[in-house]
A and B are shown apart, each in its own frame.
Chain A
Amino acid sequence: MSASRIRFFSLLRREVNRFLKIKRQTVGAPLLETFLYISVFGAALGSRIDKLHGIDYVVFIVPGLIMMAWATNAFSNNSSSILQQKFLRAIDDQLSSPASPIQLLLAFSLGGFLRGMTVATLTFIAASILIGVPVEHVLVLIPALFLVGFFFAQMGVLIGVRAEQFDDVSFAQTFVLQPLIFLGGVFYSASLLPEPFQTITHFNPVYYMIGLVRYGFLGYSDTNIALSLLFLTAATAALFAFNLRLFNRGWKLRA
């Protein structure tokens, strides 16, 4: 293996090792949280809600929960990992190594991406056992989930690099990420909303992400699939390019 590959895999191994060392917090807690959502919104409240677009309510919300698990874990892992390392200046060990900006960015990004994928996969397995979840369009589902995971991994990197204190990360998570996800239609179909909320929802990027993932699992979506995929690909590529530019400049990483 070349020195460059060893370097990249060491950077990535460090990120994966970090979340595995605290797996009760990084994997166990999000799994429990998703299980509680399924129990409360699906089993308890869902039994009183009629089918949505011909699909049982508890099944209808599972794609959104899987997407939410991937998105929030990718985001929180990367933002916390980078901020912690910046805070302790432990990141200097990586920054003073011969690793290139793109290697650093990819390693930080993929750490959260893999944590999100782990939690989302476990959520899918648990939901499949508990309630049975179909997979209607796997060729849409896999690229959609990968793009969502990578998009939020990039968001996490951006917030982690920008953050000066832990409050900055929790602010982004609580006041930006969570509202976008919850109001994007995880627990309902946007087509049921009255105006002007239905139109407002169309300006929420998470709405299109949920639409894609729901189509991949259930074969139903409120959104145009091709346009949503195109939009998500463009948004992810733009965010990655933006982060790479920051890493090349060393913004908030190198003095």
Chain B
Amino acid sequence: MDAAALQIEDLSKVYPTGTEALRGVSLEIPQGDFFGLLGPNGAGKSTLIHCTTGLAMPSGGTIRIFGHDAVEHYEPARAAVGLAPQDPNLDQFLTVAETLDYHGGYFGMPRHERRERTTELLETFSLTGKRDDRTRTLSGGMKRRLLLARALMHRPRLLILDEPTAGVDVELRLELWHYVQRINAEGTTILLTTHYLEEAEQLCDRVAFINDGQIVAQGTSPELAAQYGVSSLEDAYLELVGRKELSRAHIQADVA
């Protein structure tokens, strides 16, 4: 039987300030899944992603990526992961093409493979005309595209998208949706965090709710709605955060 793409057991994270960001999180994402992680700001989504990608050191518990321990055997574990972060963190000294080339190098790709993959990704994300431009000159939408291209450069088997469509226009959002759906269909496992519930509902096979550092519910969108006794993922989420007065049905009833 194939190892899960991501298997997290009893993960905890306490920051040096004493903040307990994760409290015994357990989660399993099978290979090929499109998994959504939803929760309010400060719930622990980014900390979970940072622990998975090596940007934060877990305080306890285990993380396995395709069977490799993310702390003890970080090399094969990290090689399998691509991360498109929430905030653009592009190196301002580099051009668009260099950004992809260096990233490929950090992941051990030989030069000829980096060249081919860079050309392919620049074409895919409509950045060919910008290949020699410094990253700081790009528009917000282009930076988003480049972040996704960089995450995909080394052909990761697990792609982590941390709010990839935050602040992007409708056209680009749809473009990104189509692309990630395509690579998911080709076998890439995807972990998506988003604040757009319709995005999670439309894209994800399964969704987990995280709140106050704990996974409080997980399943398909209909399963979660049923678990909270409501009709949609959005209403289930509003139940989770204790704001059911904001549900569309509630507001419509008030207006009527």
- Which of A2-10, A154-162, A205-213, A238-246 lies on the face that meets chain B? A2-10
Interface centre among B78, B81, B106 (most CB of A within 10 A): B106
Give Cα A9 to B74, complex, Å: 20
**Docked complex: A219-255 residues within 8 A CB-CB of B:** 249-250, 254-255
Pair A97/B78 contact, Cβ less than 8 Å: yes
- Which of A14-22, A27-35, A115-123 lies on the face that meets chain B? A14-22
Query: CB of B255 within 8 A of chain A?
Result: no
Query: CB of A176 within 8 A of chain B?
Result: no
Pair A6/B109 contact, Cβ less than 8 Å: yes
Pair B79/A17 contact, Cβ less than 8 Å: no
Query: CB of A172 within 8 A of chain B?
Result: no
Q: How far is the CB of A81 from chain B (nearest CB, A)?
A: 9
Query: CB of A92 within 8 A of chain B?
Result: yes
Give Cα A88 to B105, complex, Å: 20
Residues of B within 8 A of A255 (CB): 15, 47, 50, 55-57
Pair A96/B78 contact, Cβ less than 8 Å: yes
Query: CB of B157 within 8 A of chain A?
Result: no
Q: How far is the CB of A93 from chain B (nearest CB, A)?
A: 6
Residues of B within 8 A of A170 (CB): none
Pair A21/B110 contact, Cβ less than 8 Å: no
Pair B102/A10 contact, Cβ less than 8 Å: yes
The number of chain B residues touching the other chain, given as a range, is: 20 to 34
Query: CB of A183 within 8 A of chain B?
Result: no
Contact of A90 among B47, B81, B83, B91 (CB under 8 A): B91
Query: CB of B240 within 8 A of chain A?
Result: no
Pair B79/A13 contact, Cβ less than 8 Å: no
Pair B102/A254 contact, Cβ less than 8 Å: no
Pair A93/B103 contact, Cβ less than 8 Å: yes
Give Cα A46 to B174, complex, Å: 71
The number of chain A residues touching the other chain, given as a range, is: 20 to 34
Give Cα A255 to B16, complex, Å: 9
Q: How far is the CB of A198 from chain B (nearest CB, A)?
A: 45
Residue interface bits A77-100, CB-to-B below 8 A is 1, else 0: 000000001001110111111111
Pair A96/B75 contact, Cβ less than 8 Å: no
Give Cα A86 to B107, complex, Å: 20
Query: CB of B61 within 8 A of chain A?
Result: no
Query: CB of A1 within 8 A of chain B?
Result: yes
Query: CB of A74 within 8 A of chain B?
Result: no
Pair A89/B108 contact, Cβ less than 8 Å: no
Pair B55/A13 contact, Cβ less than 8 Å: no
Pair B105/A10 contact, Cβ less than 8 Å: yes
Query: CB of A114 within 8 A of chain B?
Result: no
Query: CB of B124 within 8 A of chain A?
Result: no
Residue interface bits B133-175, CB-to-A below 8 A is 1, else 0: 0000000000000000010000000000000000000000000
Query: CB of A11 within 8 A of chain B?
Result: yes
Q: How far is the CB of A8 from chain B (nearest CB, A)?
A: 9
Give Cα A2 to B90, complex, Å: 26
Residue interface bits B214-256, CB-to-A below 8 A is 1, else 0: 0000000000000000000000000000000000000000000
Given A250-B57, A255-B57, the answer on whether A93 and B91 have CB atoms closer than 8 Å is yes
**Docked complex: B13-60 residues within 8 A CB-CB of A:** 15, 47, 50, 53-57
Give Cα A7 to B106, complex, Å: 4
Residue interface bits B59-78, CB-to-A below 8 A is 1, else 0: 00000000000000011101
Pair A21/B89 contact, Cβ less than 8 Å: no
Residues of A within 8 A of B119 (CB): none
Give Cα A128 to B61, complex, Å: 61
* 3 closest Cβ pairs, A-B complex: A10-B105, A3-B108, A97-B106
Q: A7-B107, A90-B91, A95-B55 are in contact. List 8 more A-B contacts (CB 8 A).
A: A3-B109, A4-B108, A6-B105, A14-B94, A85-B91, A95-B54, A96-B53, A96-B83
19 contacts between A and B (CB under 8 A): A6-B109, A7-B108, A13-B105, A22-B93, A88-B91, A89-B87, A93-B89, A94-B106, A95-B54, A96-B53, A97-B103, A98-B74, A98-B75, A98-B76, A99-B106, A100-B75, A250-B57, A254-B56, A255-B55
